[in-house]
């Protein structure tokens, strides 16, 4: 039986670990041709080799890297259908008055500017080729129901959600869909930053206690949501923020 993403081509940013690696894995399992990008040559190469997909080092805050990713997708697979903007960054949980300019810039460059650049570079490709497109942003419950100590990370993810809704309306006539997936905190390479302390089961208890289903999100949870939104099953779904949060935002 054909996979749910059979014949589709996807770019997954931040695909060398965590949610990104989980998304890439699910997409390959469902028949997609996948190009992952990551800042880490080592991590990205390892994931790509294990999945049999393509990899390219890329900084999602640089326009030239997005142009290079589009060229790579076309050269390797003949086109592009799906972009998953998964790459993200945060500073360590701290009082807002102690946040530095570098902390702020990190959040907005990686979390928001990357969305701007991906749309700026990729939308013309979809429109010029009269090709339906699918953008999926990995936002966060932090942009919907924020916790203290991460003000500007929370604000950056709220910006992602709002931009996603705006572009969903603007580009719907072109059959280009925009959706966001909003995970609650899970165990990834950034969890210690969200906690502001080491990522241990004990330290995660305070976060997990606010999740009705009693655990954090996993790469599999996020990947399953992304697979649905990227598939033809979701052809009438655009502009949503899909909360993958065990009830946290209720």
CB neighbour burial string for 101-130, b if at least 16 within 10 angstroms, e if fewer: eebbebbbbbbbbbbebbbebbbeebeeee
Extended strands (E) in the chain: 9-13, 33-38, 54-57, 82-85, 133-138, 176-183, 241-244
Task: Round to whole Å and give the CA distance between 12 and 20.
Answer: 7
Sign of CA dihedral 174, 15, 57, 29: negative
- 145: DSSP letter: S
Extended strands (E) in 96-235: 133-138, 176-183
Q: Is 153 a catalytic residue?
A: yes
CB atoms within 10 A of CB 42: 9
User: Three-state DSSP class for 57?
Assistant: strand
Of the candidates 116, 153, 171, 228, the residue annotated as catalytic is: 153
Beta-ladder partners of 84: 12, 136
Please give the positions annotated as active site: 153
């Amino acid at each position: 039986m054909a996979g749910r993403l059979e014949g589709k081509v996807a770019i997954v940013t931040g695909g060398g670990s965590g949610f990104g690696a989980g998304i890439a894995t699910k997409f390959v399992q469902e028949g997609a041709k996948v190009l992952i990008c990551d800042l880490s040559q080592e991590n990205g190469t390892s994931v790509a080799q294990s999945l049999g997909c393509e990899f390219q080092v890329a900084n999602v805050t640089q326009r030239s890297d997005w142009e290079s990713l589009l060229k790579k997708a076309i050269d390797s697979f003949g086109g592009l259908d799906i972009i998953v903007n998964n790459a993200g960054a945060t500073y360590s949980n701290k009082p807002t008055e102690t946040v530095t300019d570098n902390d702020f810039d990190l959040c907005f460059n990686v979390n928001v500017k990357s969305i701007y650049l991906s749309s700026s570079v990729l939308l013309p490709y979809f429109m010029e080729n009269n090709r339906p497109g699918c953008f999926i942003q990995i936002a966060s419950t932090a942009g919907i129901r924020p916790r203290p100590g991460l003000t500007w990370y929370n604000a950056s993810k709220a910006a992602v959600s709002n931009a996603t809704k705006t572009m969903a309306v603007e580009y719907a006539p072109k059959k280009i869909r925009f959706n966001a997936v909003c995970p609650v905190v899970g165990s990834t390479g950034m969890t210690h930053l969200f906690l502001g302390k080491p990522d241990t089961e004990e330290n995660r208890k305070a976060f997990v206690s606010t999740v009705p289903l009693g655990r954090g999100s996993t790469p599999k949870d996020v990947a399953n949501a992304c697979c649905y939104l990227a598939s033809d099953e979701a052809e009438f779904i655009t502009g949503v923020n899909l909360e993958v949060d065990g009830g946290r935002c209720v």
